[in-house]
Structure formats: structure tokens, C-alpha cells
Structure 1
Amino acid sequence: MKWGQVGYRNVQGSGLPEATFEFAKSTDGWVRSLSAQAQALWAKSGDGINSLSLPQHLVDSACAAALIADRWISKPMMSLLSESLGLSPDEVRIFYIWLAATHDMGKATVSFQEQLENSEYQYLVDAVIAAGLPMEKSVAETQIERFPHSIASAIILQQWLLEQGCKKPLSNSIASVSGAHHGIADEAINEETLNIFNAFDARWRRVHNELLEGIAEMTGIVPVLENLKKLRRIDSGVLQTLTGLVVMADWIASNVDAFALGGGTQVERVSNADKHVQLTGPWAPAAREWNDIDAEFQQLFSWPSSFKARTVQRVLVEQVKVLKKPSIIILEAETGAGKTEAGLAAAQIIGENTGAQGIFFATPTMATADGLFARTRLWASNSAPSNDAVSLNLAHSKNSLSEDFQDLRFKEIGRDTDEFGNVVARQWFSGRNRGLLSNLVVGTIDQVLMMSLKKRYSMLRHVGIVGKIVIFDEIHSYDVYTSEYIRTTIEWLSSYGVTVIVMTATLPPERRNELIEAYTDAEIPTEFDNAYPLFSIGTDEAVKQIPINPPPTDAVLSLELLGEDEFLTNVEALVGEGGCLLIICNTIARAQSAFRELRERFQDPDEVVLHHSGFIAWERMAKEAKLRKELGPDSHISSGRPSRRIVVATQVAEQSLDIDADALITDFAPMDLLVQRIGRVHRHRRPDSDRPERLREPKVFLRGVEVQPPDLEFESGTAAVYDTKVLISTYRELMDGQGGLRNFRRPDDTAPFVRATYSPGQLVPKGWEVVWNEAVAESNAKKSSALKRSQNFRIPSPWSAKHLKELFDLGIKDSEEAGLAQVRDIEPTIEVIPIVVLENGYRLWGENEQIVDPNEDLDYQTARKLAASTVRLPGRITKFESDFLAVIDALEIGTPISWNKHYLLKGSVALCLEEVGETTLGRHSVRYSSDLGIEILNEGNQ
């Protein structure tokens, strides 16, 4: 049966795809046909009553692979494997099932089978001996430091492949898949391991051959191997994908709820696994004509019939309708232009045309991802046929705190029918390292970038993205270090034939070209470099650019410098008669300082609010929700918009908050970020009654410039956070030539200002040479250092990596936190959960009545509240190793023992506070309050 024609009908009540049913049926009885020696080998020790034999686990893995191949693998993934391997889709299926069936051959060794000696499972070892297999290691096996069964699998398989006539490089390539099925590719085949293989007792060798020959006959691999022999080796990306697929099959086969330890026909076993795991098929968006673009947008996003598609949305749809090849698509347009909906609509069309597995929508922050999740769920329910299940996942470390996601997790197909149809969040897909295997994923950009990280089980990240469409939202706002990960990631996406959609409001031409060059070698035109908005599309053949008619000017904002000594009086003058003022600071400490000063100046403390990342998670979410409600597009003076509000915030207000201020005071920042901040001023059209008369013309004030030209100097926090060269370039572009700053026309000035700021051939005004040259030297040194640091953890380009082992590094911890620290150029910080310690227990922050006994097991509600109360300690506390160790010791000592027993809190640490909210960590005094968030009360003795 040809690929893509496999039916999904209920075959004899099994519910399995027809091809899976037939394969499972054909394997029934295979285990019983083997010798007593083979049947005696154990794979899972079980529960003391039931265990699982190695042959049974191998055939279970083969059936799990058949199920994945017939139900889950998408057309683009199958095409990639088929073209790269030179095999037909049917042959690729056979090859994959064979790889899964042989992946644990290394368990048929003394090193593995003897592990249960002198334990309660000794009887399993005795059964092996009774069957006639010796349990004495050879000298070579006793002398090797480590011989895990994954490496044993690789060497056994490699030698068998050589016997089948495969050349050594190809045999090594294929065998490396088995060697990496525990998440790390290793140097499996070397002199030591070959010596072990050659020293295997003949009785063990006979069992190896029996199993391998039996699996070869079961799967029909021999003619497929003949076709593979024309390859010298297999591409590293294809090996990564195949390994990820084998890991999927192994994990399903190893799940005792899916494949029970004992009993049942093979059809019954795989049918039970199918019902337990509930794999969803490739995303299949409903076919649309797209002749009436307005109507299609109305239906997809549940918008009223009066809605008309915006220009950028219309252009994107028209262009992707005729798109036939994997591409990189870059949409540069002003904030509020409807880029999110345009990207989803484009993905819908590409999905229709290509049979894509699904999408990954990558956002800058968790808050952005959370906000987008509900919108994507609605779009997903409108885009897919009602009888098809579509799995949707929220991919970041705090997804358990999203009510929208948790509601979806417990929804089942055919039950609780609601407005979201059959969009589901499968339990199996929510497990560690498995989130990206869902059809549709909304998550932080780090989750995609970690596919370029040398990290354990990265193959699951690769296999989860191959076949998808990846959408990057606001990709402009990343430094050199992270940009290198973006470049490498896009190279890998290109090698996999993944279509990439990039959406941004501010992107320098050089940065745009870097993204395109990472995806294709095609020549990039330059005639539209200065166009804005701009649509670019690159394939392996050509790069095409289409200027989009610019929207009319929506605001002319006056820009003024503001001295530090003018700050308070300026705030009073701006909102003395009312109004909503946004103040953005570049550091938490500076925002806290401004908040304290302003709260003392204004009699009503509720008029001044503080928002930054240093609040515990649930308080931060509550603050964001309140700000959206009060300052969002639907609030008015007569319905929720306050007559006066001063919002002091950090960079968290740049992108993820849809709020509308009457005026802005912001610390100086790079041009593209200033544009984002300016986008929060007069963001929505309002009646005059919503704004005080003196604020009906938008105003922006820039602070943090301590010394003006020619000896430009910026506030210390700003200089520490941003590249001084870029800050100087930004200042230069904002000058009006008469000692002041020019007005900013939005969106007209966005592209030219950003372009000039980042232009490589910049000229500085006369007299600025000294400060400019110093900034350039410092910038170049930082970039060089960042590039070197990123290379330590980044995998090589797909065009240069020849072997699977080049994509891994045992030195990187297998955790999301470690991965995040590597793909972002940030100092690792410690996440804590503040609790107030009492004589008779402790209470959760913000809970005044419930007292928790630290020795008692936690109920779910309490554990979830604690898990939602995380906050990160300021990096300055743990900057030095001695401080880090002292802080960790203090935190671990104070953490209740019961936390480690609950899955929501395992590995978490408590910040034990006194009633006043203070504590000591090493040589630092720390305080947490709901008004100011986390603070360092002293900087310790330096």
C-alpha cells in the first residue's frame, strides 16, 4: 500500500490504521517462535509478578513505530526521509520499523542482564542461566569503564550490517541511531567496544543473530538495505530525525499503561497503546478557495462580517496561495497591522498545500505566548474539519499555570463539545521533551532555538519541528549571541524543508538579509532595501520582495530629553490634571526607585503602579490583566479607564502588553526598542474625552542621558544592558540638528530610523570621534566574545555536520532552565518560591489564613498555588561562585521536604521570609513585597 493511502477505518474493532493492524497481526507469535535462550532475556524487570521479555519489547517497539508511521508522520517529513535516503515511502516505513525493532539489541549482553543479580529480581537472571546463556563477562567487558546497552546495541547492529555487505561508514551511520536512543550520541564504535564484541561468547552471538535475522524477516529490511547501500553515509539531520522517531517508539513501547507487561495478542497490545497515547494525525486544515479574503478572515478568527482584511494580510495571502516550495517569508510592518492573523492565515494556506504536520508559533516571552494561546486555539478550531482531532500545546516552563491550557489538557475527543471543537491537549504530548510533538504549538522562541543546542534528547525537538511551519514573532529584539542561535536554527529548518515565517515591526536590512542567507543561497535583491512595509520570500531558487503600500501617519510624537532632576516635576506637570502615563525603565532597581518617589508624591497610592519581571508569577499575571483591562483598546473614561494612572514598568511593557498611554517617559534604548515603546503611546483611536486636553497630542520624553554630546554618557544601568555603540547611533539619528530631538512620525519613521541606526557604514558628527571609537571597540569585543561563547554550546551547521555525535555534548544539563541559559546570553539566575515562615509551619505568599505543615504531603491546590508563586532572584546575588553556593545552601535548607514529593514542585526551592518579607541569603539581604517585588536591600560587602 502506498504512503498516504493508509486508511483510518476501524479494522476488526481495533481502531488502528489498516497498515498498523496488518503489521501487528503478522508479528503475533514471533516471540513464541524464538529459542528458549532468546525468550529468557528480560527487558523490563516489572512489578515482581510480571516482567517483559526482550523479544516482546522489540516487537512492541516495532509495532509502536508502525503506529507512528501510519498515523503521526506527516507528508513533508516522509518526503524529507524518502528523498534523503533514496527510498520510497514504503521503504522508509520499513527502515524505521526495523530501526525501532533493533534499538535495544544491546540488552542481550551480560552487562545488561546481570544488573538484577542479588536483587529481588534474581529469578530473572536465573532464568537466563537456566536457558543456557553464560553470565560471565569477558576480560574485555570487565575492563571497560562504561558499556551501556545503547552502545552495545550500536556495535551489535554495526557488525551485523557489515555482514550484510554494508560499507563501514554507512554501517556506522545506521548503528548510531541505536547508540543515541537514550538522548545522547556517543562514540559507540571504537577499539574497546570492538574487542568486547569479538569476545562475546558464541552462545550470545547466536542469540544476537537469531533476533536480528528474525527481525529482518519480520520487517522485510533486506531489500531496503540493498537500496541503502548506494549511500556512503546518512545525513546527520536525517539521523537526528530517525533517532527522534525511534525514541518516540521506544517511549511508547516502554509505557506499561500502553504496552502491558504481560499478555494479549500483538493487535490487542498495539490497539491498547493507541487508545492510551492517542496520537493525533498530521494537521489537516480544511480546504479553502481564498477567493474572498475578507470572508475567510472572518471565519478563521470569528470576526464580524464588517471586517475587511488589512493590506499586509491581503498581500501575504495572495503570495502564499501560489507558493509551492519550502520558503522563508519575512513580513515587516508596523505594530497593529494584523501580522499575527496574517501569519496564521499564511500557515493555514501552506498547510493546505503541503500537508504540514502543524505549526510552531514562537513568541518573545511567556506572557506573549499565554496571550496568543487562546487566539490560536480559536483559529485551530475554525481551521480544521470538525471530525479531525488537532493537538495543541503551550510550550514553556510555566504552562501548568495557564488556565486556558489546563482546561484544554483534560478535554477528550467527542466529549464536552464546545466552541473549540476537537482541539485537544493530549496528556502524552505534555510530558517532558514531548511538547513539540503536538500538531500545533505556541511557545517561547527558546523552545525552537534549543534545537540548535547540544542537549540531551534534542532529537525529539528536531522530530517535533520537521514537517511543521515555524512562525517567529518579533524576531528583531535579540542580541548577537541569541541571533547566532537563530541563524543556526534557520539553517537547520531550511535543511529540513520547513517553511519559516518571520514577523517584525523593526528589522534592519542587514538583519533581514542574514535571515534570508541562513535559509537560501539565492541572490538577494537590493532595490527595495528602503521599503516599508515590506514582504520578502526566499526559496532555494530566488528571493522576491514586494513593497506594501504604507499606511497613513497615525501619530506625530514630540521627543524631548529629560534630565534626572526634572523627572518628578515633569510627571506632575504631565498628569496633574489627569491622564495615563507610562514610564519604562531599563532595570528593575531603577523602576523600583522611580515607583517609590512617585508614590510619595501622589496622595492616592493606587494611582501609581509598578510592573516588572521581579514579581511572583501569579501577581505579575494579575497586574498584566488589570493593566490590559484599564488601558486596553476597549476601556474608556466612562467604562474602566482611570482618570489618572502612572504605570512604572521595565521592558515587559515593550511587546507583550496591549496598553494605550497618553504620554511616555522612557529610559534611552536602542532605536528598535524605542519604536516598540513609542508604539504604546496613543496606540488606539479614542474620543477626546478619554484624554486630558494637554495630552491629546502624544508626547515622549527620553531620560537616562547623563552627559550629552560630544562626550555622550548613559545611565549606568542602560549602559550595562545595551550596546553603547547602538545607543550612540540611536541618539545621532534622533537629533534635529539644532540641539534638540526631532519628532517621530509613526509608522513613517520606523524603517528609516532603524535602518540608519544599524547601518554598517555609519558616520558620526564631528567631535564625537573619541566616544564613538571607544564604543565601537567595546561593541566589537563583546560581539567577538558572544560569538565564541555561543559556539561552545551550538551545534554545527547542517551543511558541515557529518556525524550524529557532533550534535551532542554531555556537558550540558538536560533541563529547560539550562537550555534557556545557553540560547540567551544571560547570567543564570535562581528561581525561588517565597513563603512566610511561622512557628507552626508556613503560609503561602498572599495567603493569610492557611498554614501549611512542612512535613505533610501537599494537596494539589496548595502545590499549584506554590508553583504559581515563582520569582527569580536578581542575578547580582549569585554572580560570584562563592555567593551562588551560599545562596543555594540557604535555599535548600529552608525548602520543605514535602515539596520534592509533588510533581509540580520537584526541584523547587523556597525563599523563607520573615513576617516583614525579608531574609538573608549569604551576604545579601533580600525582601519581597507585593508593591515592589523582589529587592536587594544591600549589595553585601564587596
Structure 2
Amino acid sequence: MAETASYYRYWGKAKPEAGNGPAYHLLPYHCLDVAAVGSLWLAPDTAVCKQLAMRLQVEREWLQRWFTFCLVLHDLGKFARAFQGLRTDLSDGLVKSNPRMTYSERHDSLGFALWRDVLQEKLAQHLQPVQATWINKIDPWLEVVTGHHGMPPKLDSFRLGNFFEADDEQAAFVFVQHLLDCFLADFDFQPLADKNLYKRLKPLSWQFAGIAVLADWLGSNQEHFTYCAKPMPLTEYWQNFALPKAKQVLAGLPKPPVAGKFEAVQTLFPFIQQPTPLQRYAAEEPLTDQPQFFILEDVTGAGKTEAALILTQRLIAKGLADGLYIGLPTMATANAMYQRLGKVYRSFYETGEQPSLLLAHGARELSQAFRDSVLLAEQANLDTDYQNGRLEEDQELSATAYCNAWLADSRKKALLADVGVGTLDQALLAVLPARHQSLRLLGLGRKVLLVDEVHAYDSYMRELLSALLEAHARQGGSAILLSATLPQTMRESLTAAFHHGLGLEAPNLAHPAAYPLATHTPAPKAGIPAKTEPSPAGRGQGEGIKINALPYSDPHAPTFPHQRNGRLQQLPATMETPIDTRAEVERTVHVQRLDSEEQIIAKIRHRAEQGQCVCWIRNTVKSARQAYQTLLNRGVPAERLNLFHSRFAMIDRQTIENRTLQTFGELSGHDNRKGQILIATQVVEQSLDLDFDVLISDLAPIDLLIQRAGRLRRHVRDALGDRLREPGAEDGRDAPVFYLYAPTPSDDANAAWLKPDHAGTQAVYPHVGQLWLSARLLADKGGFAMPEDARELIEGVYADEAQARIPLALQEASFDAEGKTMVQRSMADLNVLKLDKGYTRKSGDWDEETKIPTRLSEEESVSVALALLVDGELKPYADVERFAWALSTIKLPEREWKKVSRQIPDELKQQIETLKSEQKALRWLEVLPLLHGQNLYSATDGFSADALAE
């Protein structure tokens, strides 16, 4: 290169302040750094390259070479003089700023606009005619790489003259010309002329976008890619710096653990002496070579979680998955699952492997090696945030800052671990227009998605779950759904969603009355021998019902073993298999309705005085706190009374959760349980292995009541409450009674049936008709037998014909609730990304200012760190050495946060801002000082703003 090219006069990364070494990194070098990372990530021998090349129907070497070239173009927008003017203090050798040009549009969108409106035409004029034909067709690839900050670029037409000078456009053009010579000499452009390539690319573009985000993050790591301001030929920098440094970065990443073999249930779970029928099914059900989908419905205590983990290990061993993400309804259920997984997850892999396990909201027991890995460690060396002249909260963050922010939130980080546990919300964000959703989708890609307590989600979340299942199936993922019971319509819609992702028509499920039931698709077709061993006789399951699934024309569907070139090779089947029930979990529960809180308080005190342990599950935090306070006022000793709800700081919540499990869990005995009382909300409804002698519940929909009743006499115990583990042992306590706090479900119930005593219940569960049907069904039956009555109970409330029984006076409120349900579904359809459109702004409502929720039933929540004022300084509420601020966090409804934030004294607000700038853990949280006399929070009661004026 005779003279230095003009593109060496542009900076790409810059240090926020002077320090050792160059103050900036030249733009072409940063572009090459990122491309080098992406090139090695997509090396032809990697699983991700093999999968993507197969799905695109191109050669692996071709794909690596082409996407590497695209990645070098990811920061074209930084050629904008408006961007370069953000730092005028770096060097006289760089282009001069233009004061007229304001950086008011992000560089990712500017880069795509520059390509579309200027560079395409210029390149077409300078290329050979054969080469020029492809130049106008590659916009989708450029949208992927320029959208490397987690959102697709804007498609608006900008007045480029407001951002770029003519010299900038020319420098970018010369840069691209030189890149063509470096990367695409003798390249076969013919695949780019294939229209079908872009149809195949659309559903895959989300994975490419995730790779682009990761490549930009890793390529921005100054610990490896040290700044260089000295011009040198692009090929020299590529060979001597970019590629070697990229190899170092990738070598420092956690190595994928090697999958182990499935040997036996007892190898995975040594404590299981006799597998349950469902667990035997999980160990023996034949698998196909395609992504697999299971719905496991069984009673509480049937070992659903263990069965799901058995299936997970088999899927990993078969090469259908590399890891696992478990999505749960609540934080409490995630904590409990994390503890259970900690004992078994290593068994998914070969002995000596070090798979990573991460709790999606946890601040404890994090793998140090995982946190400190290059991929997931926060980067100490920051580069300049791209200030655009607006308020600080509106600033455009650099790749390093985005990386730190994303990874500071362990809820997101869990999606990148080999085994992650968290709320389902974190996975659902993969199908919503939320920044970095492509990274979430990429993280889920080769994992088994295990969703527990599926019945617990409302219509909005179920629609999002259907979209997630479709997307997950499309990228080759398997899924397992667990539930005590599911309405038939829900089972059909979830199965159909997974089938759609595989390019199959929805199966016609046989509507079996059987329960427990396992649904499996795509299962081996009837008459076609499976590759696995046939099941031995007496495995504890009935004859499976096989339903062939028909293919349908979907241009975006993946190609799996049942399809080759869009043609059917072998029809997969959907198998519905009745499962036997162990005698230990078969039981009859009597139901007794209680009319008043006074009755309940009296019963709780009486039964506790008899030495029994009692739980009352309330529907709202406010009612739980009131019941707790009433019992204290009536003389119940504080040491016998426990309160558990969602408004506790993490450190207190962990303490309460552990104490609850010790007092009422599987290993508890007479000494722990005697006379103990727990007042709780829905946090104990799911996934916690709790066992109460006496259980009282506020009215709720029937499926939730069945779930709650599963915490009544869950384990076999003697009359004192000590565990009996001998086979065939019978419970020594009296017959189980489930007490239901509800009004009389009479035929002439009026519109105020639930008011005023149950107003909170109606606010949480607004479908009054379904509540009335639930109460009436239990009143008519006087109880229920499990598993025999499970289907009758569920369909007796949710089936279309059941709705005709709702009293006329309740129908208006029920219609309102139905209307809200329809609105929820419509909102989900409106909010969810149209993934078949590809990674583009047209795929959804991509708006930086709009936060799309994962739940509509809850108002927006705010993550708040509680602080104490100690000697004039704000300290974390949690008095621990590690993760103190994380353990001090609490989630508050936005309405309550606004109420309490107004009470923060002005003199503390500046200290809070200073603290947030000093503590990286606080940058993404609000801070609430707990001041003397406010009585906002206590370790026993949790948070309440009731005492404050509105």
C-alpha cells in the first residue's frame, strides 16, 4: 500500500481517559478483531457451523468465509463524522470533527443506512457484472451484523449528509473494496444469487445475530485486543494480531463438557430404590433422532422432576442437546430447583467434566471459574460510551459496557451456562423485542428447555411459551413440560406449536381421559422399530396411543430426518401413554369450606396447640401479612409463627425459604414441625417439597387448588409427624382434610359474591365464574380422589360446556375476564417477535423506550437494593462479605417504588448517585435507604409501604 489509506484516520474504540498505551484503537482493526472471533466461532468443524451450514444448504467453508466478511462490516456506522466527533482529544492524525454534525442516530443504524444508500451502488459500479448481481441481495446479512448491539438497525432513510462527510463515505468505500480483496478473492458468489437461500436464512438470522453480539463483545476485550494506532496492511494485522488474539480469547472460554452415557435411573439418582412408573417411562421411552417434545402430567409426589432429568440425560447422551435450562414460575421455585440440581447435574456429563450451573437470580454459590471466564467476566478496562448529547440514561453504551450490564444480571447469564435455572420469563424474552434477545435464543439453542408447573401461567404467558416452543424446535432444541394437570386445549396448543417449529401439522390428540399421561412427539412411528431397546414388560405404563403427524408446507421450517429437500421421508408419530400410579400417592382428600377468617384463625390456633403443623396459603401479600399479625396479636408465640411471601430482600428470603424447608420439608420430623404455623402466598404453591398436617387455602382456580392440596400430607408419616420410609407404610395421621376459605357457591350468587371478604382473590384471579365452578365442584363432590378425579376436576372448570353452569349474575364479570384473556392473547400475538421475518426491525416493535413485559398480570416491577445508613454512609442491608448488594435486593411493584422513593431525603440522593457510580453492582438497580422511624422493612414481615402517605 503506497500511501496510507484514508480509513486509518478513524478510531473505533477509545479509552474514557488517558492511561498507558494508545488512547484509541483504529476502526479497521476493531472490525477485524470482531471478524476474527466470529470466524473461529464458525470454524467448519464446530457444531454450530455444521448445523447452520446444513440448514442453509451451503458448504461449511463457504459459510465461514462469507460471514467473516460480513462481520468486518459490522461497524461501518463509525465512519460517520458525527460519531468521530464524540472524541476530539485523541490525535491530530484522525479526521477532524464537524461541529455541525450531531450524533443523534446510533452507529448501528447509520452503518446499515450507509451500506444500503451509498456503498451498494458504488460497489456495483466497480465489480464485475457477475459479482454485481449479488450486491443488492445481501441486506439481510448486513442487518444481522450491523445490529450487533442487540437490536436490528433502523430501516429509516436518513439524510446521510447530516452524519457523514463525502470523505467518510469514500473512506468506507475504499475499506470495503480492500476487504473484498482480502477475504473474497476467488470467492464463489453463486449461492448468494439463490432466492431460497434468503428464505432459509430468515429463521436462522437470529442465531447469526447472537453470534455477532458475542463476537463484538469478545472482540472488544482490551485484555486480549490491545489498542493499536499504528497503520499496517489489513492482511498483516489480521494474521499477526486479530487471529492470534481471537484464538486466545476462545481458548479462555469454558470448554463444552463431554456428554456422559445414560446407564440407569439409580446412577443418576442413587436415592431412588424403586423408580416410579413415570420415571421408568422416562428411562425406557424410545427416542428419535429429531428434537423431542414431552408433556408429563402426573400427581404430586410422582417424581416428575426426576423423570424430566432422566429424559434430559438421555437427550444429551443421544447428542440431541448439550445442556439444560429450567424455567420456573417464581424465584422460590427456582431456588429449590437449584438445590436439587446441584446434586445431579454433573452426572449428565463424563466423570471429571466441569459443567457450569447457574441460578438465574442467585447471588450465592456461583462458579468462580464460570464468572471469571473471558466470556462472562466483567471487563475492567472500559472504552468510551457513545454519548449523543442527551441525558446519561439515554446514552448509547459501548460493547464493553453492554457486556458488563448484561452479564451483571445473572438472570441472563444463566442462559449461557451449561445448566441454568431461573424463571421462565428469562427464556420468554428470547421471543420478545428486548435488547439482546438473539443472545438468549442462541444460549437456549442446544439445550433442553424444561418448563415446570405449566398450568400456573396465564393466557399471555402461554401464548409466549407457544412462540418460544416453536422457535426452540426450529433451531433444533428439545423441550419437556411438567404439570400436575393440563386442560386438553392447552395440551393441544403447546404440542401444535412445537410441531409447527418442526414443519409439521398439529397432531389430532386423542382426548384420552387417562391420567397420569405422557405425551411424546415426534415419537417413533408405529411399525417402525426404534433404535433403542424395546421396553420390558411390566414397566408401569399402558399401551401408547400413536397419532401420525402430517407435514405441511412451511418455507421457514428446518430440515430434520423426517424431511429431505422438503419431502416427507418418514412420518413421525405423537404418542400418548397412560402412566400407572404408585399406591403411595393415591389418596382421597376431603374438602371442607370455611366461611370466615375468624373460623380459620381459631382452627389454626387449635390444631397448632394439638402439636400439628399448619399452613394457610393466601392470595395476596397484604392478606398474608394481616393474617400473620392477627395470629401474633392473639397470642401465638413468634417462634412458632412464620411468614413467607415475595417481598423480602434476597438474604432474608433465602433464610426464610431454608427455614421453611427445614421445618416443613421432606426431612422434617416431629421436633421441627410440632405446633409450627406458616402463613404464605403462592410462593409455596409450586415446586417446593413441603408437607403440612393441616392446610388451608384461599379460593383459587381448580388446578391451583389441586396443586396446593399436594402440600397436604405429602409424605407418609406417623401420628407425631416423623417420616415412615418402609415400603407399604401407612400414614398414622387422621384422614386429610383440605380447608377452603370461600363463600357459598350457591346458584343464586350475586355479582358481589366475592366482596368484600375476598376482593383480593378476585383481583388476582378475575375469572369469577371459574372460581365459582371450582368451589361448586368441590362442594358437590365433598372432596376428590387422585389421580382418578384429575381430568373431571380440570375439565369441569375449563371445558366449554362447564361455562354454562356459571350463575347469571357472575357471567358479566366472567365475560370481562374472558375478554381480558382474549386481550392477553392478542397482546402476546402483538408483542411476540415474528421470527419468520428474520432479524429485522419489521419483526416486531423494536423501541428502546418500550419495555415489552413477560407478564401482563403483574404491574411493572423494579429491582431495588436496600441500604442502611451507618455513620453517615450507605451500606448494603445484607451484612455479608460476598454479594452483599445482590443479597440486599428486593423486587417492588413500580407503584410502591414511586411512593417510597419520594421519601428519600434530598441529602441522600446525591450520595446514592455517587454510590451507584462507585459500585458496579448498583449501576442497574435503584437504592432505597431504610431510615429509622419509617418502618418500611423488617426481616420477619418483609416490605410494606402502607404506613406512608400516598
SS in 2 for 1:634: coil
> Please, what is the CA RMSD of the aligned residues?
3.7
2:145 to 178, 197, 201: 178
Corresponding letter in the other structure for 1:245: I
Residue 587 (structure 1) aligned with residue 620 (structure 2): yes
Aligned equivalent of 1:52: 25
Corresponding letter in the other structure for 1:510: T
Shift of 1:588: 1.0
The within-5 A match list for 1:168-317 is 170-188=137-155, 190=157, 192=159, 203-204=170-171, 207-217=174-184, 221-223=187-189, 225-226=191-192, 228=194, 231=197, 235-262=201-228, 266=239, 270-276=243-249, 278-288=252-262, 290=263, 296-301=264-269, 303-304=270-271, 307-317=273-283
State the Cα deviation string for residues 171-222 of structure 1 (Å, max 9, x = none). Answer: 222221233122221334747459999966785365234333234337x654
Corresponding letter in the other structure for 1:558: H
Mark the CA change 1:86 to 1:933 in structure 2 (over 3 Å): closer, same or farther. same
Q: Is the 8 A contact 1:107 1:153 kept in 2?
A: no
SS in 2 for 1:864: coil
Counterpart CA distance in 1 for 2:740 and 2:615 is 12
1:681 to 700, 712, 715: 712
SS in 2 for 1:63: helix
State the Cα deviation string for residues 748-775 of structure 1 (Å, max 9, x = none). Answer: 323331232111221544xx53134223
Q: Is the 8 A contact 2:80 2:165 kept in 1?
A: no
State the Cα deviation string for residues 495-530 of structure 1 (Å, max 9, x = none). Answer: 223211111112111111110111224343443532
Aligned equivalent of 1:423: none
Corresponding letter in the other structure for 2:514: A
2:939 to 895, 913, 930: 930
Residue 670 (structure 1) aligned with residue 637 (structure 2): no
Mark the CA change 1:374 to 1:545 in structure 2 (over 3 Å): closer, same or farther. same
Counterpart CA distance in 2 for 1:844 and 1:142 is 44
Aligned equivalent of 1:527: 510
Aligned equivalent of 1:362: 327
Aligned equivalent of 2:355: 390
SS in 2 for 1:681: coil
Counterpart CA distance in 2 for 1:438 and 1:427 is 16
Corresponding letter in the other structure for 1:563: D
The within-5 A match list for 1:546-585 is 546-552=577-583, 553-564=585-596, 565-585=598-618
State the Cα deviation string for residues 461-505 of structure 1 (Å, max 9, x = none). Answer: 122222322111111101112222112212222322321111111
SS in 1 for 2:37: helix
Aligned residues: 833
Counterpart CA distance in 2 for 1:598 and 1:202 is 74
Residue 107 (structure 1) aligned with residue 78 (structure 2): yes
SS in 2 for 1:64: helix
SS in 2 for 1:583: strand
Aligned equivalent of 2:647: 614
Residue 825 (structure 1) aligned with residue 863 (structure 2): no
1:151 to 93, 99, 110: 110
1:912 to 914, 921, 929: 929
Gaps of 5+ in 2: 231-236, 376-402, 523-550, 552-571, 724-730
Give the TM-score taking structure 1 as reference length: 0.80
Corresponding letter in the other structure for 1:62: A
Q: Is the 8 A contact 2:717 2:732 kept in 1?
A: no
- Single out whichever of 53-62 and 618-627 deviates more from structure 2: 53-62
- Single out whichever of 45-54 and 628-637 deviates more from structure 2: 45-54
Mark the CA change 1:931 to 1:704 in structure 2 (over 3 Å): closer, same or farther. farther
Gaps of 5+ in 1: 1-31, 130-134, 291-295, 414-425, 848-860, 919-926
- Single out whichever of 50-59 and 260-269 deviates more from structure 2: 260-269
The within-5 A match list for 1:439-450 is 439-450=418-429
Counterpart CA distance in 1 for 2:169 and 2:887 is 58
Residue 538 (structure 1) aligned with residue 571 (structure 2): no
Shift of 1:829: 3.1
SS in 2 for 1:326: coil
Aligned equivalent of 1:85: 56
Q: Is the 8 A contact 2:323 2:446 kept in 1?
A: yes
Shift of 1:574: 2.5
Corresponding letter in the other structure for 1:348: Q
Counterpart CA distance in 2 for 1:39 and 1:813 is 35
State the Cα deviation string for residues 578-627 of structure 1 (Å, max 9, x = none). Answer: 10011111111111111112123345321111111122221111011011
Corresponding letter in the other structure for 1:616: A
Counterpart CA distance in 2 for 1:905 and 1:175 is 35
Counterpart CA distance in 1 for 2:483 and 2:419 is 21
Mark the CA change 1:788 to 1:813 in structure 2 (over 3 Å): closer, same or farther. same
Q: Is the 8 A contact 2:866 2:877 kept in 1?
A: yes
Counterpart CA distance in 2 for 1:846 and 1:116 is 41
Aligned equivalent of 1:327: 292
Q: Is the 8 A contact 2:113 2:157 kept in 1?
A: no
Aligned equivalent of 1:23: none
Mark the CA change 1:357 to 1:892 in structure 2 (over 3 Å): closer, same or farther. farther
Corresponding letter in the other structure for 1:383: F
Structure 1 vs Structure 2: percent identity of aligned residues?
24
1:793 to 799, 823, 831: 831
Q: Is the 8 A contact 1:660 1:680 kept in 2?
A: yes
2:887 to 865, 868, 889: 868
Q: Is the 8 A contact 1:863 1:902 kept in 2?
A: no
Q: Is the 8 A contact 2:745 2:775 kept in 1?
A: no
Corresponding letter in the other structure for 1:829: S
Counterpart CA distance in 2 for 1:391 and 1:687 is 41
Residue 467 (structure 1) aligned with residue 446 (structure 2): yes
SS in 1 for 2:184: helix
Counterpart CA distance in 1 for 2:461 and 2:876 is 36
Aligned equivalent of 1:757: 797
Aligned equivalent of 2:820: 782
Counterpart CA distance in 1 for 2:820 and 2:406 is 40
Corresponding letter in the other structure for 2:144: V
Q: Is the 8 A contact 2:590 2:782 kept in 1?
A: yes
Counterpart CA distance in 1 for 2:137 and 2:296 is 42
Give the TM-score taking structure 2 as reference length: 0.80
Counterpart CA distance in 1 for 2:137 and 2:257 is 34
Q: Is the 8 A contact 2:719 2:733 kept in 1?
A: no
SS in 2 for 1:536: strand
Shift of 1:341: 2.1
State the Cα deviation string for residues 330-364 of structure 1 (Å, max 9, x = none). Answer: 11112222222222221222223335342222122
Aligned equivalent of 1:17: none
Q: Is the 8 A contact 1:835 1:843 kept in 2?
A: yes
Shift of 1:701: 0.7
1:902 to 908, 919, 928: 919
SS in 2 for 1:60: helix
Corresponding letter in the other structure for 2:439: L
Mark the CA change 1:865 to 1:190 in structure 2 (over 3 Å): closer, same or farther. closer
Counterpart CA distance in 1 for 2:177 and 2:365 is 53
- Single out whichever of 229-238 and 536-545 deviates more from structure 2: 229-238
Aligned equivalent of 1:701: 739
Aligned equivalent of 1:804: 840
Q: Is the 8 A contact 1:158 1:171 kept in 2?
A: no
Mark the CA change 1:866 to 1:526 in structure 2 (over 3 Å): closer, same or farther. closer
Shift of 1:393: 3.0
Counterpart CA distance in 2 for 1:195 and 1:230 is 37
- Single out whichever of 170-179 and 155-164 deviates more from structure 2: 155-164
Aligned equivalent of 1:14: none
Mark the CA change 1:109 to 1:477 in structure 2 (over 3 Å): closer, same or farther. same
The within-5 A match list for 1:601-640 is 601-637=634-670, 640=671
Mark the CA change 1:825 to 1:807 in structure 2 (over 3 Å): closer, same or farther. farther
Counterpart CA distance in 2 for 1:201 and 1:630 is 69
Mark the CA change 1:750 to 1:267 in structure 2 (over 3 Å): closer, same or farther. farther
Corresponding letter in the other structure for 2:593: L
